[in-house]
A and B are shown apart, each in its own frame.
Chain A
């Protein structure tokens, strides 16, 4: 009986947030799903447009390519950081963690704006290079894929580090010691033992970065300067300017289904809370 009341009281406490999420979030999301099949008319026309319209296919291709490159660079660089943190002394690790967390907290808008100031046409980098006499005209660092990539990788690295850190700290150090005692070189130990043991972390980190990149809006919109169109910016134009809800809803459903499927895949390698809680 006591257990029952405990359970009931549990439900009562969850209810307010549950109601809010159902009414304010899940319901409206379902509405978007519904719209993708009913606007402008009922049917699958929004989805068949994917096969018919070259522009939509190019949009998806650009998005996927940038997400894949962002994932690759973020995970490689993140691996380097996570490896150093795992092998650093306690004091150094705390300092490294502090820098990582600060970068986590800095607003994406401020970071993107910083890249504009640094990489822009009249930015610090171009001005510096020109006054040093290395170049005669400004180099195009932004308003292209390069700028978008720099901004996105910079934002995503911490998200790659956390799952990797979790995976690396779970490795039993005695396995490495055993490998070396049995005569393996440090390089062999790294490639044959360490890297395979961290594979779940690498997969989880890659999936997490890819998922976050898929719907990323701020950095591509600003650093792409209208030249590099990714799905999120396309959706905002369809909704706020051309008012084509059907196409926007179809793209949203596509992204959302991909995100949820990839998250389910990711949970087979690492719990989401563990992936993001690697900081503890």
Chain B
């Protein structure tokens, strides 16, 4: 793409950069707004203030929401990672004819969250799981497990099958082979799946709106109320906290992806 094409291509490139910045920048507005000294949503023209961070970090309601989101996110990530990784290895062993089964396991990913929320709600009312930790952790596990399944399957695709056979031929049991041979090779994939699963739960709002009432009130749930009432800049401060955790997780994920790629390329070099 040189010479005569370059003008159109250059203009398009400028537009594309503009669009990409447009994709990320609006969310960052929460940062200056959270530092405002006013008592309404505004830019901090008349000086910076940390009052809204002080407010949310000294509020029992906001603090309990942080804690609940962390507990629910970590629990469902642990469950989803375990179940998703086992299923990915299982499907990988079956190889042929597992397509339909894989598609079925990915169902929670393609069903719109609002419909998933209805289904969970209907199931949980008679079981007494509405407004409980167990209910939300279970629901978030179901929603997050397919993400782990996809991530781990991707790293298994780069794994040389003969290594497993070699391990079995040398007398290792299935369990030993899994722990000593397969797991180390797919570890970056498993960990990035776990990060993905944690954020899926940490950010989740639609299903949570249906399943939580008073006792369980996650961070997105409390923010939802704040946004609806549309007043207090403390929601902006909470948004910045939520966002910081997400971006931290994203960084970890990027590092893991890079490691996974190096691992799989070194394996295919050997193979």
Q: A residues touching B (Cβ–Cβ < 8 Å)?
A: 2, 6-7, 9-18, 20-21, 24-29, 31-32, 35, 77, 80-81, 83-85, 87-88, 96, 98-103, 105-118, 120, 122-124, 127, 154, 157-158, 185-187, 190, 211, 214-218, 222, 232, 235-236, 239-240, 245, 248-249, 252, 255-256, 259-260, 263, 272-273, 276-277, 280
* Distance between Cα atoms of A116 and B42 in the complex (Å): 11
CA distance A123 to B22 in the complex (A): 17
The answer to whether B33 and A117 touch across the interface, beta carbons within 8 angstroms, is: yes
How many of chain B's residues have a CB under 8 angstroms from any CB in A?
91
Q: Note all chain B residues with C-beta closer than 8 A to A154.
A: 22-23, 26
Give the residues in chain B near A211, CB-CB below 8 Å: 110
Taking a contact as CB atoms under 8 Å apart, the answer to whether A20 and B141 are in contact is yes
Residue B136 lies at the interface, judged by CB distance under 8 Å to chain A: no
Q: In the complex, what distance in Å separates the CA atom of A85 from the CA atom of B16? A: 8
CB contact between A118 and one of B26, B121, B239, B247 (< 8 Å): that residue: B26
Docked complex Cα distance between A185 and B62 (Å): 61
Q: Indicate which residue in B106, B119, B235 contacts A113 across the interface (CB closer than 8 Å).
A: B235
Q: What's the count of A-B pairs with C-beta under 8 Å?
A: 254
Closest to A234 in B: B114
Contact sample, A vs B, 14 pairs, CB 8 Å cutoff: A7-B94, A17-B105, A26-B104, A31-B122, A80-B19, A99-B20, A101-B254, A103-B20, A107-B220, A110-B246, A117-B236, A211-B110, A236-B114, A236-B209
Q: Which residues of A contact B33 (CB under 8 A)?
A: 117
0/1 interface trace, chain B 4-33, chain A, CB 8 Å (1 if under): 110011001101110111111011111001
Residues of A within 8 A of B242 (CB): 107, 109-110
B57 CB within 8 Å of chain A: no
Q: Tell me whether B30 and A29 are in contact (CB under 8 A).
A: no
- B residues neighboring A (CB under 8 Å): 1, 4-5, 8-9, 12-13, 15-17, 19-24, 26-30, 33, 40-43, 83-84, 86-87, 89-94, 98, 101, 104-108, 110-123, 138-139, 141-142, 145, 149-150, 154, 168, 174, 199, 202-203, 205-206, 209-210, 220, 223-224, 227-228, 230, 235-236, 239, 242-243, 246-247, 249-250, 253-254
SS class, residues of chain B in contact with chain A: helix
Minimal beta-carbon separation of A207 from chain B (angstroms) = 12
Check A32–B112 contact: CB distance below 8 A: no
Q: A26 CA to B116 CA in the complex, in Å? A: 10
B93 touches A157 (CB 8 A): no
Contact of A122 among B41, B220, B236 (CB under 8 A): B41
Q: Do the beta carbons of B115 and A10 come within 8 Å of each other?
A: no
- Contact between B26 and A10 (Cβ–Cβ < 8 Å)? no
Which secondary structure dominates where chain A touches chain B? helix
User: Known contacts being A117-B41, A248-B118, is A106 close to B24, with CB within 8 Å?
Assistant: yes
Given known A102-B247, A218-B205, A232-B112, contact A112–B20 (CB-CB < 8 A):
no
**Which chain B residues border A218 with CB–CB below 8 Å?**
205-206
Are A235 and B118 in touch, CB under 8 angstroms? Answer: yes
Q: Evaluate contact between B24 and A105: CB separation under 8 angstroms.
A: no
Closest 9 interchain pairs by CB? A215-B112, A13-B90, A84-B16, A10-B93, A28-B119, A14-B90, A103-B23, A186-B5, A107-B203
Which of A99, A263, A276 is within 8 Å of B23, CB to CB?
A99
Given the complex, which residues of A lie within 8 Å of B107, measured CB to CB?
21, 25-26
Contact partner, B41, options A14, A27, A120, Cβ 8 Å:
A120
Q: How far is the CA of A12 from the CA of B98 in the complex (A)?
A: 14
Interface contact A252-B142, CB-CB below 8 Å? no
Bound Cα distance from A10 to B156, whole angstroms? 14
Q: Is the CB of A109 within 8 A of B203?
A: yes
- The answer on a CB contact under 8 Å between A20 and B115 is no
Determine how close the nearest CB of chain A comes to the CB of B156; give it in whole angstroms.
12
Contacting pair B105 A21 (CB below 8 A): yes
A215 x B108 contact (CB < 8 A): no
Cross-interface CB contact of A29 among B21, B105, B119, B149, cutoff 8 Å = B119
Of all chain B residues, the one with the shortest Cβ separation from A245 is B122
- Chain A: CB-nearest residue to B199: A105
Task: Name which residue of chain A comes closest to B120, CB basis.
Answer: A28
